[in-house]
Amino acid sequence: MKMAELKGSDSIVGISDITEGKGLWKALVAEFLGTFILVAVGCGSCIGSPTTVQIALTFGLTVAALVQAIGHVSGCHINPAVSVSLFVTGDIKLLKMLLYIVAQCIGAVTGAAFLQFLLPEKLVGSLGITNVNADLNACQGFLFEALLTFLLVFVIHGVCDGRRKDITGSVPLAIGLTITAVHLSGIQFTGSSVNPARSLGPAVVMNLWENHWVYWAGPILGGVLAGLIYRFIFKVQKGESDSYDF
């Protein structure tokens, strides 16, 4: 009985990921490095007087490149909302999720600090920090972030569904284009973070925390809803993909 309870607990907590996961350290390094690059390069595009298209393409292309580069190592979550979503759908376990989020947050803060170090003081500005449009209240910003993250994470679940046989295009491209789309839509409202770590990095370095809760609560809610809806309604079941008529 005790052995059964231990196995049941491990199926959620994932102690074996720590004790037996020989590649875990590589995955954590990949998550750190990926989030470091995302924040340093992405927030770099926000410096000065960039256009919305410039920022959207920078984030979209950077994520697409990173998925291609480290997706086979860690899954390239580089986003706590993605990690939490994959936990609630049972694709990763609790300890791994927590370690991923820690690595992502450290990478984001380090990336923002490195970007600040590279720039002369007159160019730093707000270092690409995200905030809610002055014409919106925090709750509206929260809902925008939840909606935009829902789209991103829903697409991630869809294109990464291992039982689909109809995907012939590029997974990194699909995710990168979705990042671009949510930025084109949401930059004017919330800065389109859709990633708590991306907002955390500049907030820590600049010590600016206005409406910061929006960028954790919104993306995590959107990610959780996207994961649950995809898993229980749209996820391809065993043998089901053969019956689809495309």
Determine, yes or no, domain membership for 172. yes
d(C-alpha 83, C-alpha 104), whole Å: 10
Answer yes or no: is 1 within a domain: no
Q: Are 13 and 93 in contact (CB under 8 A)?
A: yes
Residue 244 domain flag: no
- Residue 198 clears pLDDT 70, i.e. is over it: yes
Domain of residue 133 covers 22-235
Q: Answer yes or no: is 243 within a domain.
A: no
Count of structural domains within the chain: 1
Is there a domain that residue 242 lies in? no
Quick check: 126 pLDDT over 80?
yes
Specify the pLDDT at position 8: 54
Mean pLDDT on 217-233: 97
- Confidence at residue 166, expressed as pLDDT on a 0 to 100 scale: 82
Specify the pLDDT at position 244.
46
Neighbours of 162 (CB within 10 A): 7
Mean pLDDT, range 157-166, rounded to an integer: 88
When pLDDT is cut at 50, 70 and 90, the band that residue 110 belongs to is: very high
Distances (CA, A) of 89 to 79, 93, 106, 223, 230: 16, 10, 25, 10, 9
pLDDT at position 162:
82
Answer whether 222's CB lies under 8 Å from 145's CB.
Answer: yes
CATH of the domain at 30: 1.20.1080.10
Query: Is 180 a member of any domain?
Result: yes
**96-112 as b/e: b if 16+ CB within 10 A:** bbbbbbebbbbbbbbbb
Write down the pTM of the prediction.
0.92
Indicate whether 11 belongs to any domain.
Answer: no
Residue 71 located in a structural domain: yes
> 76 Cβ partners below 8 Å, 6+ apart?
30, 31, 34, 66, 67, 69, 70
Identify which of 86, 88, 100 has the alpha carbon closest to the alpha carbon of residue 160. Answer: 86
